[in-house]
Amino acid sequence: MVHIAELPSSLFAFLLLLGACLGDARNPRTPSVPPSTEETVETYTNYYGYVKLTGLLQSLAQKYPHIANLSSVGHSVEGRELWVMRITKDPHGDAPGKPKFKYVGNMHGDETVSRQVLVYLVEYLLTQYGEEPRITELVDTTDIYIMPSMNPDGFEKSVEGDCGGNGGGRNNARNEDLNRSFPDQYDGTTVNADNVPEVTAVIKWIQEKKFVLSGNLHGGTVVASYPFDDSAVHRPQGFYSKAEDDKLFRYLALVYSQNHPTMKTGMPNCPDSQDETFNDGIINGAEWYDVPGGMQDYNYLHGNCLEITMELSCCKYPPASELHKEWDLNRESLLAYIEQVHIGVYGYVKNAVDGAALFNVSIVVASIRHNLTTGKYGEYYRLLLPGTYNITAAAQGYTPMTVPSVVVVEGKATELNFTLAPVVNEGVTATTHAMPAPNGQNLSSTTTSRPVLPPELQPVQPQDFRHHGYSDMEVFLRDYSRQFSSIAHLYSIGRSVENRELYVMAISGNPKVHEHGEPEFKYIANMHGNEVVGRELLLKLIEYLCHNYGTDAEVTQLVNNTRIHIMPSMNPDGYEEATEGDIKGYRGRNNSNNLDLNRNFPDQYFTSNETRQPETIAVMNWVKSIPFVLSANLHGGSLVVNYPYDDDKEGLSQYSRSPDDDVFQQVSRAYSQENPLMHNGHPCKDLYPNEYFEDGITNGANWYNVPGGMQDWNYLNTNCFEVTIELGCEKYPWSKDLPKYWEQNRRALLQFIHQVHSGVKGTVSDIRDGTGIPNATISVKDIHHNITTAGTGDYWRLLVPATYYITASAHGYIPLGTYATVSKDHVELVDFNLTRVRSDANGQSPVGPQPTQTPSEKAFQSLIKNLSLSQGLEQLVTSTAMESRFRYRGYKDLSGFMQGLTLNFPKITSLHSLGQSVEFRTIWGLEISNKPGEAEPSEPKIRFVAGIHGNAPVGTELLLEFAALLCINYGKNPAITRLINETRIVIVPSINPDGREQAVEKQCNSLQGSTNIHGRDLDTDFFGNASQHVVEPQPETRAMMNLILDQGYTLSVALDGGSLVATYPYDKPVQSVENEVTLKYLAGVYAKNHPKIHLGNTGCSNNGQMGNIPGGVMRAAERQSHMGSMKDFSMDFGHCPEITVYSGCCLFPAAEQLPTLWAENKKALLSMLVEVHKGVRGVVRDKSGKPIVGAIIVLNEGVRVFTGEGGYFHALLAPGNHNIEAVADGYQQQHKQVVVFSNEAASFIIIEFDMDNRILGLPREFVVAGAAASMTALVVTACIIWCVCAAKSSRQKDGFHRLRQHREDYDDEIRLTSMGSKKSLLAHEFQDESESDEDTLYANKI
C-alpha cells in the first residue's frame, strides 16, 4: 500500500498505528449498563465498583446534558470501558476557544482515593454550575475531561483497607504497570497494545485532544511530583531531571500543594516512611525515584500538555469512612489547579493570504527549548509564568513570525495571534507585521505588495572563527551539549590510538534515541588529520543548528524530523601533529600508527594485511549500530564531491559504477550546486590546472583508485549511502580564511541533509498485530542493492524520481511488492504488511492440538522480542550497570566469591562440586534459577564455561562478573528477573584450576598453565568411546563429561583466549557439518553483539592470526583442527551445540584491561540468554495426553534431539523454515514444518502420536489376513506331502526338517526387518563406528 502524504510526526504515526484498533475516542461507546434515572445523593461513605460507577456517570450525563457528555476512550484488558466525563458548556460540540484540561485517576488500581475524589469533583462541578460563579466561569471557559479510573480491572481486584498495595490490584489484568508503559525519552519504550490497551487508548486520546494541562492522581504518600520522572542515567533516586519548563512545573505543583492542608507541610508522616519529607510538598519525579515510561513525561514530550502527578493519601485503599475527609482535603486544590490552564498566552495562527487556520505550527518561546503546536483550528495555548517573552510561530512553507517583548501578567492569559505569509519567489506576496498592543491584544495587518518579499527573521550566523585544538574542541562540544540539552547530545564512539575521545554530537528533537520513522544522518570530518576545514565547518554547523532551532523554519524542520550526527574529528591524533598553513602536505594526515584511515576499511576487491585501527573499528561499530541513511565524509585538498565506488576490481583509474549511481549523482549535485565555486568544476587552477569535474562531482575510482575507503564500506555493508566532499584546495588554511569557507558551504551543508528525506520510506509490519519486523529486506527491481529495516520495522530507501517496483521480504513471511512513484519534492511513504508463512506443507491452517498462551507467556514473548532488537539489548546493558572492582582471582578467591553468591542469593543459586582437579581443587558449577536444584524440563538450559586453558583466565573473570550481574539484578531489573525465572543457567568459571595457579599475568603468548598438572591439554581429552582413550580421561575432563551427559542442555558457550573470533563445531576435521547453518548463526549472534569480533579483523599480530574473517565467525577446525575437544563431545554425546568465543589476542592481559573486556562481552553474554529461548520447542505425547520420553526429534533430516522428562524438547535453529520428524517406538512417525524468526521466542508445538499398527510397513489387518492364508496353505501342503510320501518315512522326516530350518531363517529375517526403522536411527546417533560399553550405557540412558 502506498501512502502519498506524510504524517506530521513519526512518533504520532506509530502511536496511532498501535491505537487504531481501539476506534475513535470521540464517539461515545454503547453503554454496557442501563442508565439509572434515579437521582443519586452523594454520601461519601462508599467506593463505587465498575458497575455502580458506570450507572452513576450515565445518570449524571443524562441529568446535565447541557454541560456533561459521557464517552469511553477505549477498553481495559478485561473489556471494561475507560469512561471520561466531559464537562463544559456545549459538551457535544468541538468548537475552538477553550483550553482542554484533564484529570486521570486510579491509574494504579489499588490507589483508590483518586477515583473517588474525581467522581466527587464531577458531581460538584455539575451541581454547582449556575449556583456558584467560580464554578460557572470555570465550566464556561474550560473544556474539562475527567477519567475517574484508567485501570478499572485493577480496582476490581483490590481490597479495601489495603494500605500497602499488597492485594495485587496495582497493575492491569496483564500484570503491567501502566505508569511504566508509555514511550520513554531515554529508553525508547514502545507500547504493546496487547498488554496495555489502557495505555494505547490514553495515548490516542492525548494525541487527538491536544490537552493543555493535566493532573495524574495517585496514592501512597502526600506530595505533588513534576517532570521529568526519569533520567538518562536512571539513578534510582536523588537525580534532579530538569525539564525545559522546570520553573513552570514547580509553580503548578505548588498551586496544588499549597491548597492542600497536609501536602503543603511537606511532612505526610506516612506509617511506612515517617522520615520522608518534601520541601513545600513538591518534588522532581526523578529526584524522588526513577520512573521510566511514565505518563506525565509522555504528556509533556509528545502531547502538547503539561502534567504533574499528585499523591493524595498515605494509605492506597483506605476505609470508605476516610473518603469524605479526603474530598475535603483535595477539593480546593483540584479547582485551583484547573484554573491554571488560563495562564500564559493563547491565540490563533492563520494564513496571511486567505485567513485559513494553520495546523501544526510550532509556537516557540525564546530561551525555553520546548515547543508546542497549533490544533486543527490554528489555536494554541502556551502556559507561561509572568514575564516578558519573544514568541515565534514557525511552519514549513511559511515565513516565521516573531513577536518581541510579549508581556505575560499574573492571572489572565495574554492573547497573541499570528498570521503567516507563505514563502514565494515571485508574484503577489502577503506581508505580515505584528506588535503587541498595550492591552495585551495582538494587532496585525495584512497588506498586498508586488513584488516586495515579506520581512524574514535572518538566521543567527556564527561569529567566532578559529582553529580548535582537541581540548578546545572538547570544551566547545560539552558546552553546547549542556546549553542545548533538549536537542543536542554529546557521546563518544571510542578512542584514538593516543586515547583521545572520538566525539559525536547528535542533534534532534529527541537526540538520545532512534525514533521510529525518523531518518539518521551523519557528517564525519578530519579523517585525515591535516585536512581541517571540515572539522571547523562541523563545529560551526552545530552552533548554527542549536542557535537557530525554534526561530528558523528550515533548521527547526530539519532538527525535528532528522537525527543528525556530527563527528568533527575522526583523527584527533593526526590533527595535533598537523601545522597551520599546510597547503598540500602530509604531516598529520595519518593516525598515530602512521596508517591512512581512508585505506583501512575492508575492501570489496582487495585484501589488506594492515591492522584495523581503533578509529576505524570505532566507526565501523558506530555505523552498524545506528540505521544511518545518508552520510558525507569531509576532506580537503580539492573542491569536488566524489561518490562510490572509490576503487575498481582491476585497480585502474576508471569509472566504477555502483548499483545506485543515479542516486549518488543526485545527492552529490545537491551539495555541489549550493557551493558557488564547486559546481563550476575547476577546483584548484593554481595547483592542478588540468583538473576538471563536470558539475563539481566525480566518480571516486574515475578520479583515482582508493582501496579500503570508508564511503564504499558504508554502502556495501550497511544501509548508508556516503559520499566524500573535498572542501577546498588548501588542507590546513589560515584561521582568517575560515569565515570564507563557512559562507561557501553553509547552504550546501543544509541542502545535503535535506537529501535524506528523498526516495521512499515506511514500515514493514506483521499483518497479525502490526508490530514492526526488523531486518526485513527492501529490494527495488533492477537495482541490485538491498537495504534492511531498523529495529522497529522502519526503513528509508534513497531513490531518484521515477516509478519503481519495491518488494519487502523477511524470514517466515510471504514477500509483498508494490509500485511507488518517487517525486523530487517529498519522500514517498510506502508501508508493507506481511503475512506469515503457514506452518504446514500445504499452506492450510494447522491441524491437531494447538497450544494456548497465558498472558504471562505472551509477556515473556514480548520481552524476548524486545531484547532481540539491538536497542532493547542496549537498554538492558545500560540498566544493569553496576560498580565493579576487577581483578584476577586465584582459586581461593574464586571459591569464596561463588560461595558468597550462594549465601547472599540462596533463593536463586545452588553451588555444586562437579569434581576435583589433579591437585584436588574443586571444579565449581553454579546454577542460577528461580528454583535451583529442581527439575524444570520445560525450561531451556544454558551452560557458560571458561578456564579450560589455565593461561587464559579472562573468561573466568567475565563469568564471575556475569554471575554477579544476574544475582544482583534479580528482583530489581524486570528483564533479568524474568530471564532467570524462565531459564536454568549453569556457570562453570574454571575447568582447569591447577593450570590457572601456574599461569602468569601479562603473558600474552606463554603456554605456562595451559595444560593441567599432568601436562594434558584438556581440550584434547574429551572422547566418547573408551577405545579412543589412550589413557583414562583426566579428572577435570571426567567432571565436565559427567556434567554434559547428565544434563539436557540447549546451548553451551565456552570462553577462551588468544584470538578474537567466535567458532562453532567441529574442532575435528570433518567434511561436512550437519546443521551448520544453525551453528554458524549461533556463533554469529555472539559475534554481532561484540564490538570487535563481528568486524572480522582480529589483528592478533602476537600469534600470527591476521586477515579478514567474515562476521568474525568460523568453523573451529579451520582455526586449529584437533581431536577430543569439549565442543565436539558436547555435540556428539550431549546433543547440545557449543560455541567457543576467543575474547582477546592476549592470553593473560593485565588486570587493568578487564573492565574493557567486560564492557565488550557483557552485551554478547546477555544475548546468549535471550537466544536460548528461540528456535523450536514443544512436547511429544500420545493421544491420551501421556508424555513420551525418549522420542527422537529429527531436524531437517539430520540433527537429532531427544525428548526428556514430561516429553519436552527444545532445539535451537537458525531463522527460516524447518522440517521436523518425530519418531518413537510403537508409534507412527509425525511430520511438522515450523518457521523460526530471528527476533521471536521459540514456537511451541504439540506432537501427538498414533499407535503404529503397521507390520513390515503394511496395515496390520492385511498382514494378519495374509499370514492366516499362508498358514492354511502351509497346512494343506503339509497334508498332501504327508499323504503322498507316507511310505517313505525317512525321506518324509528329512523333508520336514529342511522346511522347518527354512522357516526359522525367514522368521529371523522378519524380526530383523521389523526392527530396522528404530535401529537405523539409533545407529546414526553416534559418529564413531566403534562400539563400547560406554556407548551401550549411554544408549540405554537415552
- Enumerate the active-site residues: 311, 726
Distance CA(523)–CA(513), nearest Å, equals: 18
Dihedral sign, Cα of residue 1179, residue 1184, residue 1187, residue 1188:
negative
Residue 801 in grid coordinates: 524520481
Distance CA(1283)–CA(1280), nearest Å, equals: 5
Strand 984-988 and strand 941-946: the pairing is parallel
Please give the helix or strand (H or E) that residue 1188 lies within, else none. none
Q: Which phi and psi angles does 153 have, rounded to 5°?
A: -65, -45
Per the CB < 8 A criterion, the answer to whether 411 and 380 are in contact is: no
Residue 329 in grid coordinates: 482535603
Strand 68-75 and strand 1138-1144: the pairing is unpaired
Please give the helix or strand (H or E) that residue 511 lies within, else none. none
DSSP string, 76-128: -TTS-EEEEEEESSSTT---SSS-EEEEE--SSTT--HHHHHHHHHHHHHHHH
Strand 638-643 and strand 563-567: the pairing is unpaired
Per the CB < 8 A criterion, the answer to whether 176 and 287 are in contact is: no
**DSSP state letter for 1097:** B
Q: Which residues contact 1116 (CB under 8 A, 6 or more apart)?
A: 1063, 1064, 1065, 1066, 1067, 1125, 1127, 1140
CB atoms within 10 A of CB 814: 13
Counting every residue written for the chain, the total comes to 1342
CB atoms within 10 A of CB 576: 17
Q: Which residues contact 1262 (CB under 8 A, 6 or more apart)?
A: none
Dihedral sign, Cα of residue 1023, residue 1026, residue 1027, residue 1033:
positive
CB atoms within 10 A of CB 583: 14
Burial status of residue 382 (CB atoms within 10 A of its CB: 0-12, 13-18, 19 or more) = buried
Please give the helix or strand (H or E) that residue 43 lies within, else none. none
Please give the helix or strand (H or E) that residue 595 lies within, else none. none
Bridge partners of residue 379, in order along the sequence: 348
Distance CA(914)–CA(924), nearest Å, equals: 6
Residue 1137 in grid coordinates: 551445540
Burial status of residue 972 (CB atoms within 10 A of its CB: 0-12, 13-18, 19 or more) = exposed
Please give the helix or strand (H or E) that residue 1001 lies within, else none. none
Q: Which residues contact 125 (CB under 8 A, 6 or more apart)?
A: 87, 135, 138, 139, 144
User: Which among 186, 297, 188 is positioned nearest to 231, based on CA atoms?
Assistant: 186
Per the CB < 8 A criterion, the answer to whether 1217 and 838 are in contact is: no
Cα distances (angstroms) measured from residue 368 to each of 286, 306, 371, 383, 490:
21, 14, 8, 12, 20
Angle 585-589-590 from CA coordinates, rounded to 5°: 140
3-state class (DSSP) for residue 485: coil
